[in-house]
Structure formats: structure tokens, C-alpha cells
Amino acid sequence: MPPFIHSSPEPVPNHKEYKVEKILDSRLRMYDGRTGYYVKWKNFGSEYNSWVDERDIRNAEQLIVDHELHKSYKVMNKYMHLDSWEELVYEIFAVYKVNSYDEDMTVIFSLISGEIARADLKVCKARFPQQMLEFYESHLDWKTGDLGEVNN
């Protein structure tokens, strides 16, 4: 194990900072409520892979973002056999277009288990339509007044 890994976020004297090559896995609430990351260290063999508290990882922000994005797409694979996800979904965070030239939209949501997931909008509308409807209704800009005041 690279020698700087320890329980304190302070650097170890006389040791260079080791670089994370890849985030292999992550677990929520592993270290007193903080995320733990299972990492592959640059220039070290896989026998040195180790779990690290999120506060002890430096200069790996993009690797963490890439890992979490990849992981969020994989989360729902284990539930694809279910017709309904209504009982699995805790909260919908956003519906967005991945890019401007694509018509497909993605939904980001959390599960009762605490996992963050992403799925295609068409899949979400089929698997948890009631929650999608509630999400849209809660984000509408409601107007009051009679219909005669609406401009065409």
C-alpha cells in the first residue's frame, strides 16, 4: 500500500503524494458518513488497490465524477426485469438533454437504497409514471386568472 494512506487527512512528512489512476468502486457512508473509494494507484500493481476516505483523495475530482457517472448508469441494470420501479425510486432530481443535437433525454433520480441512478426518459415514464407526473407537476409554473388573459 502506498505509504501516505492513513486515517488523518494530513500529509505524511517526507512522502510524495501518490496519484490515483482509477476509481474502481465506491461505497456511501463508509467513513463516518463519508464516501469510500476503492482506488488503483498510478505506478502500483493491483495488489496495492485500497479503500480510501473521500477526504484523503486529492487531485482526483474528474476521476470521481467519471466513476459516479458510469456507476449511475449501471445501477438500474439489476432492475430492468421489473415492470414497475415506483417502489424503488425515492426522489427525481432532474430531467435533461444530454446534448443539444440529440433528442434523447435522461432522468437523474435516487433510490430508496440511497443509490443515485440515471435512465432514459422513455424508460422512466414507463417504469415510474406516477412519480414522473408528480415531478413535472411540482416544477410547473402555475398561472392564475381566466383563460381570456392567455396570449396566443
Express each pLDDT in 37-82 by its tens digit: 899 999 999 999 999 988 888 788 888 888 877 887 788 888 999 9
Residue 109: count of CB within 10 angstroms of its CB: 26
Res 146: pLDDT:
67
Q: What is the model's pTM?
A: 0.56
Residue bearing cell 446534448: 99
**Fold that domain 1-59 belongs to in CATH:** OB fold (Dihydrolipoamide Acetyltransferase, E2P) (2.40.50)
Q: Which CATH number fits domain 61-141: 3.40.710.10, 2.40.50.40, 3.40.33.10, 3.40.50.2000?
A: 2.40.50.40
- 127 φ/ψ angles, rounded to the nearest 5 degrees: -90, -30
Reply yes or no on whether the pLDDT at 1 is more than 50.
Answer: no
CA angle 61/63/64 to nearest 5° reads 65
Q: How far is CA 21 from CA 67, 114, 144, in A?
A: 12, 27, 55
